[in-house]
């Protein structure tokens, strides 16, 4: 589709919008999803580096599950997912990975339909080192928040609360009902 419109850029006079659109479209797209993935990659890479440096076979994604196990003790995947704020699918995948690295054990529950997850001796031995790393990570996160115009931890909490009130899918559907503006 070709747009033959002229716009005033406010500086040099009139510009052809086709050229402006080409420049915009050629620029890297920094959408919300891309920005969030990039942020998580940067954070996880640094945190995982701290685990490697400490000699641990441990991934950042294990932390919400392990912290939940530390608080709840042996629990079902469903209970751990709820406590950690994860979907059942994400918790199940993480727990399977943790079992492969001998961080957790899985056994059948009383009704044989659910699996009960517990920490292994390997996980128990890692906890003192993990607690020290988590303290360092939280201190670094606080320092990052202090550098920003708005603390990222607060923005993320507010975003999650807003999405719990009105899911993003509902917002997309509402946007689809709005006339397109170019």
Domain of 54, CATH number, reads: 1.10.10.10
Could you give the CA distance from residue 57 to residue 96 in angstroms, rounded to a whole number? 15
Say what the pLDDT of residue 23 is: 39
Residue 78 in any domain: the answer is yes
Domain hosting residue 98, numbered range: 31-149
Residue 1 falls inside a structural domain: no
> Is residue 163 one of the residues assigned to a domain?
no
CA distances from 13 to 7, 8, 119, 182 (A): 8, 5, 68, 20
Q: Is residue 100 domain-resident?
A: yes
- pLDDT tens digits for 144-167? 999 999 999 999 999 999 999 999
Give yes or no for residue 96 having a pLDDT over 90: yes
The mean pLDDT of 31-45, rounded to a whole number, is: 93
Q: Is residue 74 part of a domain?
A: yes
Total tally of structural domains belonging to the chain: 1
- Rg of the chain on CA atoms, in Å: 23
Q: Cite the DSSP H helix spans in the chain.
A: 17-26, 32-53, 63-72, 77-84, 88-100, 121-147, 152-165, 168-176
Instruction: Tally Cβ neighbours within 10 Å of residue 104.
Output: 24
Residue 168 lies in a domain: no
pTM score, whole prediction: 0.75
**Domain annotation covers residue 61:** yes
pLDDT of residue 18: 41
Is 17 part of a structural domain of the chain? no
């Amino acid at each position: 589709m070709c747009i033959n419109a002229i716009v005033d850029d406010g500086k040099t006079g009139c510009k052809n919008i086709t050229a402006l659109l080409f420049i915009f479209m050629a620029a890297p797209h920094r959408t919300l999803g891309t920005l969030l993935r990039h942020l998580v990659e940067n954070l996880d890479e640094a945190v995982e580096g701290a685990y490697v440096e400490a000699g641990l076979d441990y991934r950042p994604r294990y932390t919400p599950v392990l912290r939940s196990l530390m608080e709840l003790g042996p629990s079902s995947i469903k209970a751990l997912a709820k406590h950690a704020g994860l979907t059942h699918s994400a918790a199940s995948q993480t727990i399977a990975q943790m079992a492969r690295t001998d961080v957790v054990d899985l056994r059948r529950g009383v009704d044989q339909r659910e699996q009960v997850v517990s920490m292994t001796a390997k996980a128990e031995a890692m906890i003192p080192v993990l607690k020290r790393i988590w303290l360092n990570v939280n201190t670094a996160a606080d320092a990052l928040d202090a550098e920003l115009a708005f603390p990222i931890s607060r923005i993320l909490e507010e975003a999650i609360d807003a999405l719990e009130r009105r899911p993003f899918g509902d917002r997309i559907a509402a946007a689809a009902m709005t006339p397109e503006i170019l």
